[in-house]
Amino acid sequence: MSDLLKLLREVGGVIDNSHVVYTSSRHGYAYVNWVAVLNDAKAARATSRVLARRLTDLDFGVIAGPTHTGDKLATALADAFLDLGRAVVPVYCQEKTEKRIIPVNGELREVKIVLDGRDFPRGQAKKVQGKQVLVVDDVLTTGGTIRETLAAVREAGGLPVWVAVFCNRSDISGEFDGLPLTELLNVPMEVWDPEECQACMEQVPMNTTVGHGGWFLREYGEDPDGWPANEGKRSRQ
């Protein structure tokens, strides 16, 4: 497994010693960027084959992944299963949306509104209905996206039987919301709320290449003294 982690670092899939803002708005020193893994054919193939071998004895006929990374991993994993002589169906679920007519700059325009939850577009719900389903995603941190995917599977009439993630950076172990959990890698990462971020207090430069560091700088400015953790530090002194 050390060789696999080395490969991921080489392709930029695991970034250490940085200052990153995660989707949850929390901060940390490290980041798992599975898009970089998918962009490298060798790394994508290697990780999918290893995870497929760990799941080969499980009983399911469909693999469901959420956009915008888990869906691609569902396809890669299905391809790995095919190499093992087993055909499974990859499907994806995306955020629910609704078209609405609203006024924009004095004119009525049709816009797409993002709703809560996820569903299976393009008739894929029929492939889920009545099937046992493996739910897969790239990284497990808080589990919000996986929970939405599980709900979408159940809403479509499928039965989630297992959860698999390519990287677990959370403190969740062994099972996820009552379902067995399999992980390819476990990379625990220390994270902080913005008001308590150690990297902010140390004035480590913000990474704007991955994560949401760019948004953070637009919101709070380039000067570390204006970041929430440092404002809170001043108030405690």
**Numbered residues of the known binding site for 5-phospho-alpha-D-ribose 1-diphosphate:** 96, 99, 137-145
DSSP, collapsed to helix, strand or coil, labels residue 131 as coil
Residue 215: give the domain boundaries: 1-30+189-231
Backbone angles phi, psi at 113, to 5 degrees: -105, 130
Is residue 219 assigned to a domain?
Answer: yes
The enclosing H or E element of 140 equals strand 132-140
Whole-number percent of the chain with pLDDT over 90: 78
Is residue 107 assigned to a domain?
Answer: no
Is residue 115 assigned to a domain?
Answer: no
Q: Are 17 and 189 a contacting pair, CB within 8 Å?
A: no
87 bridge partner residues: none
Buried b (16+ CB within 10 A) or exposed e, 175-192: ebeeeebbbbbebebebb
Distance CA 233, CA 229 (A): 6
Q: Is the pLDDT of residue 5 over 80?
A: yes
**Numbered residues of the known binding site:** 96, 99, 137-145, 169
Q: Are 154 and 178 a contacting pair, CB within 8 Å?
A: no
Is residue 12 assigned to a domain?
Answer: yes
Question: Helix axis angle, 2-10 relative to 41-55, nearest 10°?
Answer: 150
Q: What is the per-residue pLDDT across 119-149, written as a single tens digit (0 to 9) for each?
A: 999 999 999 999 999 999 999 988 999 999 9
Taking CA atoms, 101 is separated from 29, 129, 215, in Å, by 43, 33, 28
* pLDDT band, residue 185 (cuts 50/70/90): very high
Residue 102 CB coordination number (10 Å): 10
Q: What is the per-residue pLDDT across 217-233, written as a single tens digit (0 to 9) for each?
A: 999 999 999 999 998 56
Is residue 204 assigned to a domain?
Answer: yes
**Numbered residues of the known binding site for orotate:** 141, 169
Number of domains in the chain: 1
Is residue 214 assigned to a domain?
Answer: yes
Distance CA 108, CA 207 (A): 39
Tokens 């949850």 label which residue? 24
Higher pLDDT, 30 or 74: 74
Is residue 108 assigned to a domain?
Answer: no
Whole-number percent of the chain with pLDDT over 70: 97
* pLDDT band, residue 99 (cuts 50/70/90): confident
Is residue 79 assigned to a domain?
Answer: no
